[in-house]
Amino acid sequence: MSLTVGSLFSGIGGFDLGLERAGMRVIWQSEIDPYASAVLKKHWPHVPNHGDIRTITAAVERPDVLCGGFPCQDISNAGKRAGIDGERSGLWSEFARVIGELRPDYVLVENVAALLGRGLERVLGDLAALGFDAEWHCIPASAVGAPHRRDRIWLVADYQSRNSRTDVADTAQFWRVECWGQQFRGDGAAQRYLHHWQPEPDLGRVAHGIPARVDRLRCLGNAIVPQIAEIIGRAILNSPPLPQGDG
């Protein structure tokens, strides 16, 4: 049976695309940026966009999987490094609130690698307080064939009271970084992605005749790598089913 997905901080739909490729179904999104929202509407015309995460309550449909890459500006080494309490990265508190209200079976989180020293303990503590067991790892885009590194934290959490297993991440055995390249290249179904990573020779900030060029580059820069989301999604779908229980 296909799992349903609620997508927070959707951007241009990187998580959504990857998890749909894995066999899941996106039932709603949450994005406030006008350009990114237009991209979502084009590719998911029948999926509602609930906009600002601060307006999402238990009134929305409960998904099996809740995913999102919350803002990294205050966590990234390229920013002012205010950490997870910063004005934008502080929206993690809203992410945690929505998790508590909707009680999904699984939570998927992505952020920059600097989260390790600027807020991961908060994320793990909040998830544990909500009853979720988490596994995480830094996985670069180059692990799935990209011609650049782009190291990011990927975290998978599942609801402990509904789960007799240690955790889905350990069961799937997909956190072993040294095996990522071989695992990916050995998967015939995934082989097609290796041909998608053709580096663009000139990513100029301005290009005559190309509308919304800066918006496109900004949204691409903020997007997650859908190939990694797909592999994580497949690992979840291939794991033993959750036992029924309270939750």
As a whole number of angstroms, the distance between CA 205 and CA 212 comes to: 10
Residue matched to tokens 């240690």: 166
Length of the chain: 247
Q: Which residue has the tokens 């950490």?
A: 83
Distance CA(135)–CA(232), nearest Å, equals 12
- Residues marked as catalytic: 72
CA distance 121 to 242: 26
